[in-house]
Structure 1
Amino acid sequence: MPQITAIVATYNRQQYLAEAIAALEAQDRPLDHIVIWDDGSTDGTETFARRLEAGSGGRVRYRRSANGGKSRALNAALAETAGDFVWICDDDDIALPHAAATLEAALTGSRAGLAAGRHDRFRDDPVSGRREMLGTGYWPDLTRGSILRHILEDVFFFQNATLVRREALERVGPFREDLARSIDYEMFVRLAARYPVAICDDILFHQRKHDGARGPRGARHTAAASEAVWLENDRLIFSGFREILPLDLYAAMFDGPNEGLRRRAGLLQRGTVHARRVDWDAAVEDFESAADLCPGTPLTATERAVVIRAMSGKHGTGGAFAAPHGPRLLALRARSVAGRGIAAALGRGAVWRVRESAARGAVGEAARAALFVARAGSQPARDTPIALHERTHLREADYDW
């Protein structure tokens, strides 16, 4: 029977840690080890964890280091622990009793490097103490497209609902210690680019929403500032992935008889990934390259769907409609037949931004988006007769790059 080691990195969260650890100890499938790595807490964490360790018969281990951030704590814990499967859990969330057994069953006997499931969210009222369940977070339609494509476009599962093979973690390397946030997301992308992901459709943990400070001591930020920090780190990690992930991996997400169209779809997909990080320099470069590949062939319906998603990222559209990016995107119309289709698909995606901005009362944003929609033009009158489809599963060879 494979061993499961749970790792909990913590910093000044003693008020939440007790409930998080109790949930791990209450798993239907008992965990082989629970490692609590204290990243230099100054509250009651050490006293609580040492008492827990003393009464666990060796199953709970407590380690402490100077404050250096969650990534450093996780890397240190991984270096000191064993076990076939690794379950990294946050110190403020609550695993459901069936979580470990469900994730283990998904990994056992499969080629997957990791298994992941759903979560829902909750908040404890600071005055009444009443627990309010907030429903599930973002979860895409996984019947269309590969898991890799979905995780590149947006994170939708989290560490408490993820069990990873130790050999997979060793292959892709340690957590990045230069990131204030998104360390789990960055790791998920690396893993999903090398291994299939087994998805469990069950809710496996309750994610706590609260207003406490986040990040290591030298880079603490409030919950209110999380969106800006999240965007900054997302852009940072994807600028790195642009150099690491080969275009062939993006092209492998598509199936069809025409190699040129598969590569064009890969460029459009990579451009869309960067657009959703508001990195329009990279996105425009990919869209222009795509317009020059099979330039006389109109976009397929599959390609149009990819480009439309460029405008629907959670970080907004940033400077997409202003100089220098807006004019370059609109200039795609005159570049080629393919370019005309790309511009029209971007305009189609921007229609949603018009509505969303108007609903928020952001009149200026809505006006800029509406002007872009009007100038982007319509779809070409005809589709290409060449078939192109998006894969739901990559081939085993696609992960060997």
Structure 2
Amino acid sequence: MPATTENNQGSFLGRISIRRNQVLSMDGTHDQEMEDLELFQKHVADRFSELLSSTTEDSSGDALLSISWLRRLLDEFLCCEAEFKAVMLMGRDPSQIAKPPLDKLLPEFLDRVVKSLDICNAVTLGLDAVKNLQRLAEIAVAALDTTPLGDGQVRRAKKALAGLIAAMLHEDNANAKGTERNRSFGRRSGNNAGSNSKDRVRSLSWTMARNWSAAKQIHAMMSNLNAPRGAEASGLAQPIYIMSTVLVFVMWALVAAVPCQERNGLGTHFPLPRQLAWAQPMISLQEKIAEEWKKKEKKGNVGLLEEMQRMEKLGQSLVDFAESFQFPPETERLDEVKKQVEELGEICKRMDEGLEPMQQQIREVFHRVVRSRTEFLVVLDQAGKLSAPTV
């Protein structure tokens, strides 16, 4: 997390803590709470604006849906979640969040949280599948990064790359054809690299319930996601709507990037009011991701993760080289292949350094939202007991 973001969050949380512990008039409390709500919206806008600015073409380290960008997205989500919980719960009378319209909106938000847990599990499994693709690429890199390059090394690289390409194209093509899934963990259906690789992706990313669908789960989270209107727009209904939107967007982006079970129809936009300043950068990011999805959905692809997109392109080029390889190779072609192998090796290195920390972040998101949901349920239970008639 950038130092400025961390400092802003600490300042914001401290500010709310101090205010809620002060004895203030009702008018003063209302005015200062409005300031807190506005500051929360500003922080959400700033965080997603920074994420949007990092997706420009000259930003090589944080390309859209790259591992580093997704890790930043998860960090920003955790910041938003902490501030949201402070706004809603810190020093607040439990009865305040049990009144209409919060008595309806808050349970709907907590239901979205439950649905997000399944997505976290599916994405974590999908990242395991990505690690298997990385291993195939590493085999090809090791084989082609030899001097002199001979038929044996090229055949070994070709086998690994063929498996890599087949595995990357498998998932969405299978979904489109309605192919029956093989849900047995680790089962293999053939002796060639392509079939083994496809089964490794299948066994890791398809261990959710047979009828579970990532796209349907996202659409279910979008259900009843409506911006508050009138007087509700200036009250606590607004941060609930903002945090619900942030939660849906983050899960949507993760499912778009990482191989997950049944993603057909994921590219559908969820509505965001364009007149809201905090929503503007999120809308722009959504449009960028949806455009990438449209480019890939017809040919089938295991995910929009930037590193996998580059890996697929390089892998296909190296397969073409391997299929036409003759010893001794042409010097000019060999120089081009060397550059491609170096780039593929660099991608593997980024994956090796980033995938495991990303999985840890997703686990942190999982446990954080579980804890927060429990805290909200405790407060709602307290509010129920306070409102219950005495016998």
TM range (shorter): under 0.3
- Which is richer in strand? 1
- Which is richer in helix? 2
Give the greater-gyration-radius structure (CA): 2
- What TM-score, normalized to structure 2? 0.23
- Bigger RCO of structures 1 and 2 (CA < 8 A, at least 6 apart): 2
- What TM-score, normalized to structure 1? 0.23
